[in-house]
């Protein structure tokens, strides 16, 4: 690979990311059922109805997985805590075994010189809470803050950083408007409620963690570089609506105390009562901001109901997900956010990587090129004044890619889902070498 650790400022942190449901194995250790289990059990939602009962069996193999990151020379590990593992019903009784697991995991990271970067919620809502309306229910902000309190009372003294929620857009829009992830709703009212509640839950969690004196609290959102499919006014308008929903809604709430007009045009009639009064709660001061970036999108108008748009294919090379590879988009997003929202706040790339149809015995050069070109884009953003403090690869190992099951391989470590054997790919070795330079 072309990049070297020495290309980046001193103290810059290189990390790998995973999430609990995607790797741990929710059939183990007394974890409660999640809405991903019920979603996957419903035909048509997930490729081959695959689920996370065993996943990568990280619950039992976590030491080996941490060893792999240490041997690679990483500085940090971005992991998440499963709500249903810690509180099987989402509220009330705590599963001691679940809490012990994260306690051991954090100590294991520290023993290996890996800074623990925690995410509290990476999508596996306890099924018992989904039955109460999940993200549509305004009480979820209190439920999540209670979960945050239970987890941080145990590990909050040792984590390097924490973010309440991974990717609000996926939690709310992808899952309640587009229906592509659990709970699989396609309903504008559900979506409007979830869009707002995901931010009130973020705010209440931050408050709860500040009360416990937890340090280095941030937020993690996902972004795409949005292009209008052509020069027409209609295409520009469609692209602006898409971009507002995806890129500007959540940072609007977090940093500006307002939501973009293009989104309110569609969802305002469906917003929860009193939403205008929640921006003080939502806009809690943050210590850092995390950016997940994978791809760009081309948007054209269509004649359907609001938002009256469609995604159209673009010309760039694509990953196994069918996502176009556009590293310049990462530079654009980083500088655009810094200039318009985050200012002097330290930012981290909290996810970036690609799925590839990897087979053992063939080097994953596509992934090496992807990582190299995105790291070069990150480097350019630093040169343009973005206070970028770290870069996180998605993902350490092949895992459960949600509705696409186990087919899409994002890992730098190959996982054989029959034997659960881990085998570092060529990209793993190449990154390890680059980090030594
Ligand atoms: C992100 C998710 C992560 C993984 C990658 C490919 O949106 O945070 O869990 O699915 O995409």
Evaluate: CB of 356 within 6 angstroms of ligand 1.
no
Evaluate: CB of 372 within 6 angstroms of ligand 1.
no
**What local confidence, expressed as pLDDT, does residue 146 receive?**
98
User: Nearest C-alpha to atom 10 of ligand 1 is from which residue?
Assistant: 401
What's the gap in Å between 269 CA and the centre of ligand 1?
30
Phi then psi for 343, rounded to 5 degrees?
55, -120
What's the gap in Å between 301 CA and the centre of ligand 1?
27
What's the gap in Å between 135 CA and the centre of ligand 1?
19
**What local confidence, expressed as pLDDT, does residue 246 receive?**
98
What's the gap in Å between 376 CA and the centre of ligand 1?
22
Which residue of 401, 406, 409 sits with most ligand 1 atoms within 8 Å of its CB, as the best mutation to test the pocket?
Answer: 401
**What local confidence, expressed as pLDDT, does residue 425 receive?**
98
Q: Which pLDDT tens digit goes with each residue over 12-29?
A: 999 999 999 999 999 999
Evaluate: CB of 166 within 6 angstroms of ligand 1.
yes
Residue 199 and residue 222 in contact, taking contact as beta carbons nearer than 8 Å: no
Share of the chain above pLDDT 90, in %: 100
Evaluate: CB of 394 within 6 angstroms of ligand 1.
yes
CA distance 397 to 413: 4
| Coil/strand/helix, residue 361 | coil
* Total H helices, total E strands in the chain: 17, 11
What's the gap in Å between 234 CA and the centre of ligand 1?
31
Of 117, 114, 103, 106, nearest in space to 161 by CA:
117
Provide the annotated active-site residues: 167, 351
Which residue of 167, 321, 350, 396 sits with most ligand 1 atoms within 8 Å of its CB, as the best mutation to test the pocket?
Answer: 167
Q: Which pLDDT tens digit goes with each residue over 114-124?
A: 999 999 999 99
Evaluate: CB of 351 within 6 angstroms of ligand 1.
yes
Share of the chain above pLDDT 70, in %: 100
Ordered DSSP codes for 403-428:
GGTT-S---SEEE-TTT--EEE-HHH
Phi then psi for 366, rounded to 5 degrees?
-60, -45
pLDDT along the chain (437 residues), means of 10: 97 98 98 98 98 98 98 98 98 98 99 99 98 98 98 98 99 98 98 99 98 98 98 98 98 98 98 98 98 98 98 98 98 98 98 97 97 98 98 98 98 98 98 98
Residue 122 and residue 21 in contact, taking contact as beta carbons nearer than 8 Å: yes
Q: Which pLDDT tens digit goes with each residue over 258-299?
A: 999 999 999 999 999 999 999 999 999 999 999 999 999 999
């Amino acid at each position: 690979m072309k990049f070297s650790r020495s290309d980046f400022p001193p103290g810059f942190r290189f990390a790998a990311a995973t999430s609990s449901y995607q790797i741990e194995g929710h059939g183990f250790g007394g974890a409660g059922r999640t809405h991903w289990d019920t979603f996957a059990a419903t035909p048509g939602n997930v490729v081959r109805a695959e689920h996370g009962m065993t996943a990568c069996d990280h619950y039992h193999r976590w030491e080996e997985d941490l060893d792999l990151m240490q041997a690679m020379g990483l500085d940090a590990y971005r992991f998440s805590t499963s709500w249903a593992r810690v509180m099987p019903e989402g509220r009330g009784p705590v599963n001691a075994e679940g809490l012990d697991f994260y306690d051991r995991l954090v100590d294991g990271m520290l023993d290996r010189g890996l800074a623990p970067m925690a995410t509290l919620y990476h999508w596996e809502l306890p099924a018992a809470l989904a039955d109460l309306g999940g993200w549509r229910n305004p009480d979820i902000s209190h439920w999540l803050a209670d979960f945050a309190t239970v987890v941080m009372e145990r590990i909050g003294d040792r984590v390097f950083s924490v973010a309440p929620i991974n990717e609000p857009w996926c939690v709310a829009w992808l899952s309640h408007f587009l229906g592509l992830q659990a709970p699989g709703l396609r309903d504008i009212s559900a979506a409007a409620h979830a869009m707002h509640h995901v931010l009130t839950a973020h705010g209440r969690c931050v408050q709860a963690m500040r009360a416990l004196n937890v340090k280095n609290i941030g937020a993690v959102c996902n972004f795409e570089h949005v292009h209008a499919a052509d020069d027409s006014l209609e295409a520009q308008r469609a692209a602006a609506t898409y971009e507002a929903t995806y890129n500007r809604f959540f940072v609007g709430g977090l940093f500006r105390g307002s939501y973009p007009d293009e989104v309110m045009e569609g969802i305002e009639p469906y917003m929860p009562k009193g939403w205008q009064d929640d921006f003080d709660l939502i806009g809690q001061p943050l210590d850092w901001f995390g950016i997940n970036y994978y791809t760009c999108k081309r948007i054209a108008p269509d004649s359907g109901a609001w938002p009256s748009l469609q995604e159209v294919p673009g010309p760039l090379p694509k990953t196994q997900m069918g996502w176009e590879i556009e590293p310049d988009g990462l530079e654009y997003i980083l500088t655009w956010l810094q200039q318009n929202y985050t200012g002097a706040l330290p930012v981290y790339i909290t996810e970036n990587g690609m799925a590839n149809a990897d087979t053992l015995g063939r080097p994953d050069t596509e992934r090496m090129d992807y990582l190299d070109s995105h790291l070069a884009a990150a480097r350019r953003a630093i040169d343009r004044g973005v206070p970028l403090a770290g870069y996180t690869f998605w993902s350490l190992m092949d895992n459960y890619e949600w509705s696409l099951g186990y087919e899409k391989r994002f890992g730098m470590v190959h996982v054989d889902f029959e034997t659960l054997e881990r085998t570092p790919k060529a990209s793993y070795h190449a990154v390890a070498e680059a980090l030594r330079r």
